[in-house]
Amino acid sequence: MSGLLKWFVPVVALMVLAAVSGPILKADDTTTAPATSQPSGSIAVTILDSDGKPVEKCKVNLYATKKKADDPDAKPKKSGKMLQSGKTDEDGKFTFENLASADYAITASSKSVGKGTAIASVTDDAPSATVTITLASASAPPATAPSADASK
């Protein structure tokens, strides 16, 4: 029996030590989970009328698109729900922020001036895009290819 007791006491002591020290180690553990990356891309939009003047208070909407911004034959086509919207300032500018890497369709409309669309891309290598949309006159027939500068 003394042989069994010889092994029993150290095992119980280790079990007690593990039970007591476990919560203490966890309480002092300062390891944190890695921070998740927040989307940080942006698209700066400038809206102009047919004379090249900025359009103030123009409604701009951002949509996901399946068309690629670098495809010269791509026509802006929104796919899905509107992601963001806003109105341009007195300089005809508005910036969509906190965007993930993707291709986006931008629509612009002003009751007094007209409508226009463009495609822009946000990528990890180029997180900021700049787009200029010249609105077609509200009284003019719709253009087959809207004027847009989707340069990065």
Q: Give the pLDDT confidence score for residue 150 in this predicted structure.
A: 44
Instruction: Please tell me the predicted confidence (pLDDT) of residue 136.
Output: 86
pLDDT in tens, 69-128: 566 555 556 667 899 999 999 999 999 999 999 999 999 999 999 999 999 999 999 999
pLDDT value for 66: 72
Rounded to the nearest integer, the mean pLDDT of the chain is 77
Q: Is 33 a residue whose pLDDT tops 50?
A: no
User: What total number of domains does the chain contain?
Assistant: 2
In this structure, the answer to whether residues 49 and 84 fall within a common structural domain is yes
Q: Are residues 80 and 10 in the same domain?
A: no
**pTM value surpassing 0.95:** no
Residue numbers of the domain that contains 25: 1-31
DSSP tag of 46:
E
CATH of the domain at 128: 2.60.40.1120
Is residue 36 included in any domain, yes or no?
no
> In a 10 Å sphere around its CB, with 0-12 CB exposed, 13-18 middle and 19+ buried, how is residue 103 labelled?
buried
Written as six digits, the tokens of 20 are: 């007591």
Asked whether residue 18 falls in the same domain as residue 47, the answer is no
Q: DSSP for 60-71? A: EEEEE-SS-TT-
- Identify the pLDDT of residue 117: 93
Q: Quick one: CA dihedral 88, 94, 97, 103, positive or negative?
A: positive
